[in-house]
């Protein structure tokens, strides 16, 4: 097993960014247990604007983005004309990977989890998942 795989299997915390292509990123630090949860659970956590042990509450503009993405998900649940699409940037930067909300995050593991330096800290690195979301019509 390589060093990268070992890091993925022992994640205690990770950072997830959600970009709904609206000019505002939602970024949160999550407990490593989210690796064993579904992307649906991960999205619920990412779209919750409340303060928690790892994150301050969302700003007003971040709350607006979270509300919009929640509306997209609701549209797909009530109208077959819409499809919520969630993709992750691949860890090796070869392109996006389409994700299924019902799949567990760990299924994609090292394909989507990047190890990145923490800004402002010497030699510290943290697992990072970069997500993109959009609403498709038709």
Instruction: Report the number of distinct structural domains present in the chain.
Output: 1
Reported pTM: 0.85
7: containing domain: 3-137
- Percent of the chain exceeding pLDDT 70 equals 89
Residues 52-99 pLDDT 10s: 999 999 999 999 999 999 999 999 989 989 999 999 999 988 889 999
Residue of 72, 76, 81 whose CA lies nearest to 134:
72
CATH of residue 12: 3.10.20.90
The overall average pLDDT reported for the chain is 87
């Amino acid at each position: 097993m390589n060093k990268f795989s070992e890091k993925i299997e022992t994640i205690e915390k990770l950072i997830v960014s959600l970009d709904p292509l609206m000019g505002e990123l939602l970024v949160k630090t999550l407990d490593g247990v989210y690796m064993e949860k579904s992307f649906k659970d991960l999205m619920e956590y990412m779209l919750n604007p409340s303060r928690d042990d790892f994150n301050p509450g969302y700003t007003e503009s971040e709350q607006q983005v979270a509300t919009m993405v929640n509306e997209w998900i609701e549209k797909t649940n009530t109208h077959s004309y819409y499809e919520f699409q969630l993709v992750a940037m691949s860890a090796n930067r070869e392109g996006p990977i389409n994700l299924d909300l019902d799949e567990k995050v760990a299924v994609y593991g090292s394909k989507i989890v990047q190890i990145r330096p923490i800004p402002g800290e010497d030699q510290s690195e943290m697992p990072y998942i970069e997500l993109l979301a959009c609403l498709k019509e038709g």
